[in-house]
Copies of this chain bind each other. A is one copy, B any other.
Amino acid sequence: MSRKPRRQKPSRRDITIHRRTPPGASPGQVIPDPSQPKPTIHVTGFDEAGVTDHDVPDPAAARALVGRHALTWINVEGLGDAKTIERFGELFHLHRLALEDTVNVHQRAKVEDYDEVLFIVMRMVTCPDRCATEQLSIFIGPNWVITFQEGTPGDPFDRIRARIREGGRIRQLGTGYLAYALMDATIDAYYPVLEVYAERLDELEDLVVQPRNTRVIDDLHAVKADLLILRRALWPLRDAMAMLAREETTRFPPEVRPYLRDCYDHVVQIVELVETYRELTADLRDLHMSSISNRLNETIRVLTIISTIFIPLTFIAGIYGMNFDNGGGTRPLNMPELYWYWGYPACLAGMAITAALLVYYFYRQGWIFTGRSA
């Protein structure tokens, strides 16, 4: 029982897609995951002059606050209520398909341009115990940005809220820069997660050479599965960021472009790190398997040496343990050796010579008395 390894399986949530609409259902249906928390809506309006913060009960209240400041950021946490999401869609003219994507929280990162509104989906990394990702949907309008999160506590946006309060570029530039700041924070949140994996690989590097450590292979497998999940989240994100950094869009004016390129550089760097870690993991697995093979070889060599030396000796002892009766000398061919004066010493000497020859044979084979490194 206690031998069963406590392997952690990869987060099923990240590798399974369960659609709540049956095949053939009308597109654009907003059917949230019932296990999701109810939405809470936070509105931050700001311009160079100042900042106001509101928690509002419903989309209409949020809509009413738009326009009071030059820029409004509406952050919705929790996607558990279809009506709220749909009401946002009506009030801000969000496309039905984008709303459907918002509540089906297993989207690949992508950028969709619905003329009026730019829709960006990306995956935020969360790493409580095992690595997992959740969905962040960003709608960028003329003077507002709406973000939908899954509502797991904790997001990487606290520092952005602080920056808005502190003032600076984020208060002066438009919705594009705010959206950039949110994406940048989401992407940069991958760095500390990758540091954790770098550390785990570093530890595993020490452990893989211990061939009896059965945890190693499970740990390597877990790391590999996690990196696969990260990779799935990051590759489409890279493509989406490349598109944003490259193509001219109304929401991202030229002065924001270098920031998007910087952001793209970060994604590329993260993707490369993940690929490097994947290669290192594969290398460590190879190293571990070699280590197991070496140990097996060593074990069998010991077995072979011991067996091969003692089996013939035991056979000789067996010979002279036979009870052939010489009939007090009347059957002289029956084991005369037993009655020789030097019988026993000669027998022992024979054994010693046999053993010595075998040892010499093994020595010539390079199996014994050779330095490890030879």
Contacts and interface: CB of A to CB of B under 8 A. Distances in A.
Interface of A: 3-5, 7, 9-10, 12, 15-19, 21-27, 95, 97, 100-101, 106-108, 110, 112, 114, 156-160, 163, 168-170, 181, 184-189, 191-192, 194-195, 198, 201-202, 205-206, 209-215, 217-218, 221, 224-225, 228, 232, 258-259, 261-262, 265, 268-269, 272-273, 276-277, 279-280, 283, 285-304, 306-308, 310-315, 317-325, 327, 331, 333-335, 337-345, 347-348, 366-367, 370, 372-374
A311 B322 contact: no
A336 to B, nearest CB: 8
A261 B156 CA distance: 30
Contacts of A324: 320, 337-338, 343-344, 347
A297 B211 contact: yes
A259 B323 contact: no
B209 A108 contact: no
B290 A15 contact: no
Contacts of A225: 280, 283
A198 B12 contact: yes
A45 to B, nearest CB: 19
Nearest to A263: B27
A182 to B, nearest CB: 8
A25 B187 CA distance: 12
Given A108-B265, A258-B97, A214 B27 contact: no
A184 B342 CA distance: 86
Contacts of A100: 262
Contact of A158 (B24, B291, B293): B24
A23 B163 CA distance: 12
Nearest to A12: B202
A304 B95 CA distance: 68
Contacts of A335: 323, 344
A198 B16 contact: yes
Nearest to A341: B331
A274 to B, nearest CB: 11
A164 to B, nearest CB: 11
List 8 tightest A-B contacts by C-beta distance, closest first: A317-B318, A24-B159, A24-B185, A23-B188, A320-B322, A16-B198, A23-B189, A303-B304
So how many copies of this chain end up in the complex?
Answer: 5
A181 to B, nearest CB: 7
A210 B322 contact: no
A359 to B, nearest CB: 14
B294 A294 contact: no
Contacts of A186: 23
Given A269-B108, A322-B321, A181 B228 contact: no
Contacts of A325: 338-339, 343
Contacts of A299: 297, 300-301, 304, 367
Given A295-B297, A300-B296, A301-B299, A283 B221 contact: yes
A346 to B, nearest CB: 9
9 contacts: A17-B195, A97-B258, A100-B262, A108-B269, A112-B261, A317-B321, A318-B321, A333-B344, A335-B344
Nearest to A291: B217
B374 A213 contact: yes
A265 B191 contact: no
B108 A210 contact: no
Contact of A307 (B159, B298, B311, B344): B311
A300 B293 contact: no
A25 B159 contact: yes
Of A25, A100, A212, A288, the most chain B CB neighbours within 10 A belong to A212
